[in-house]
Amino acid sequence: MSHQPSSTEAPNSIEAKDIAYQLHSYTNARKQEAEGSLVIERGEGVYVFDNNGKRYIESMAGLWSVAVGFGEKRLVEAATRQMAKLPYYHTFTQKTHGPSVDLAEKLIAMAPVPMSKAYFTNSGSEANDTVVKIVRYRSNALGKPEKKKIISRLKGYHGVTLASASLTGLPNNHRAFDLPMPGILHTTCPHYRAGAVPGESELEFSQRCANDLESLILAEGPDTVAAFIGEPVIGAGGVIVPPSGYWQAIQAVLKKYDILLIADEVICGFGRTGEMFGSTKYEIEPDIMTLSKQLSSSYLPISAVLINDRIYQPIADESALIGTFGHGFTASGHPVAAAVALENLAIIEERDLVGNVRTLSPHFLSRLRALESHPLAVEARGVGLIGALETYHAAFAEKPGALGAALNRAMHERGLIARNLGDTIAFCPPLIINEAQIDEIFDIVEASFDAVNATIDNGKA
């Protein structure tokens, strides 16, 4: 049944037309019909404005992605120049263009470990979906058709295509979609507070995670497991920072059984953790990296897969045997998106935004952790300029996610856009943020937590 605008809605308003015509991502469609959407009209720096003129500080950088802030004129100008010169061309069948070549060269030069080639896609989901296919293609090329399984982690997030949603370790990405697909396995989530047993140190917990991984590999058969994928810091699964020694212990297991390591840098890449890549921050040595979001500050859709030579050479051989590498997207390496990404990376480097993260991270994390003592808070987690507050109250114990939703509404009313991941409130502001704006975020968070707690105390929750 199509939506009939309520008496309070103008029939031709953008709100009414949105309800009538658009299906939204990560949204309860019936709730959307009843309540409508927040309409964002413009952005400026770390702020966005709705169509009623209300200003919000965007503490999620959109979707973990607008590194250089909203309204950056240099990116608009880069897009305009390229649009006028070559608005579109593809990279199929031995054809190319300057922006994709320059961006590939730039990313290979920036990579934290030696990489051989860049392959362009349009989103993090497509990048990780492509990786699943690359891993399978390589195993066949090596004459190991049984070595196809990929291990991910519970609460990891890798996208929403059939393959990448299967890699994702979150139930709502699987329910009613008949996922995960065969050949995708999940191992222990490295959340120390939630997963450690009494008296277990971080190093001991990390080793237990590695032991769990090894047990899974042995149970499946090492000759059937091709790769392991992980975010340096888990993002949409709750901003889960790896405990001490975690990545060292995991990599030791992977090397023991000749299993490829895929670093999903879609959120962590380009400065978020205080290093250019999360892999540098945690001394990860991936064979494959997936990149998106802050690659272009999401001004235009673009993502990349970086592969090292031990991945590339078998793929090149197999493409020669078959006659083609039979994979590609119409907009892979789109010239306008690539030009914007190159300019975005130039801004990140010229303005030392990674240095800005390092400078501001102590204050950001101090304000975040100060809220850990709030009656509604359970744990503060974070690194660089990414963080989260996990919340709980007995009044909401039978309604998972309801407390997070109430807090999110309270922040929204006070002019802050954050994101509740269930009952965990996440923060990931643009890298251009300053100290006063960090204080603005957490002053609103504190006021919002106090307001919701007061309604609970008054029995109105």
Per-residue pLDDT of the chain (461 residues; tens, 9 = 90+): 344 444 356 779 999 999 999 999 999 999 999 999 999 999 999 999 999 999 999 999 999 999 999 999 999 999 999 999 999 999 999 999 999 999 999 999 999 999 999 999 999 999 999 999 999 999 999 999 999 999 999 999 999 999 999 999 999 999 999 999 999 999 999 999 999 999 999 999 999 999 999 999 999 999 999 999 999 999 999 999 999 999 999 999 999 999 999 999 999 999 999 999 999 999 999 999 999 999 999 999 999 999 999 999 999 999 999 999 999 999 999 999 999 999 999 999 999 999 999 999 999 999 999 999 999 999 999 999 999 999 999 999 999 999 999 999 999 999 999 999 999 999 999 999 999 999 999 999 999 999 999 999 777 66
Of 334, 350, 366, the residue that ends a domain is 350
CA 246 to chain centre: 20
Tell me 226's DSSP state.
Answer: E
Residues 57 and 132 in one domain: no
Residues 95 and 224 in one domain: yes
Residues 401 and 266 in one domain: no
Residues 280 and 303 in one domain: yes
Q: Which domain holds residue 289?
A: 74-350
CA 44 to chain centre: 22
Of 305, 320, 350, the residue that ends a domain is 350
Residues 359 and 422 in one domain: yes
At 252-303, the pLDDT tens digits run 999 999 999 999 999 999 999 999 999 999 999 999 999 999 999 999 999 9
Residues 50 and 107 in one domain: no
Rounded to the nearest 10 degrees, the angle between the axes of helix 98-110 and helix 335-350 is: 40
Residues 383 and 284 in one domain: no
Residues 111 and 82 in one domain: yes
Residues 279 and 407 in one domain: no
Helices (H), 387-434: 402-413
Of 310, 331, 350, the residue that ends a domain is 350
The CATH number of the domain holding residue 361 is: 3.90.1150.10
CA pair distance 442, 448, nearest whole angstrom: 9
User: Does residue 8 lie in a domain region?
Assistant: no
User: Does residue 2 lie in a domain region?
Assistant: no
Residues 132 and 262 in one domain: yes
Count: domains in the chain:
2
Q: How many CB atoms lie within 10 A of CB 391?
A: 24
The CATH number of the domain holding residue 298 is: 3.40.640.10
User: Does residue 218 lie in a domain region?
Assistant: yes
Residues 331 and 411 in one domain: no
Mean pLDDT for the chain overall? 96
User: Does residue 401 lie in a domain region?
Assistant: yes
At 307-344, the pLDDT tens digits run 999 999 999 999 999 999 999 999 999 999 999 999 99
pTM of the model: 0.95
Residues 323 and 392 in one domain: no
Q: How many CB atoms lie within 10 A of CB 53?
A: 8
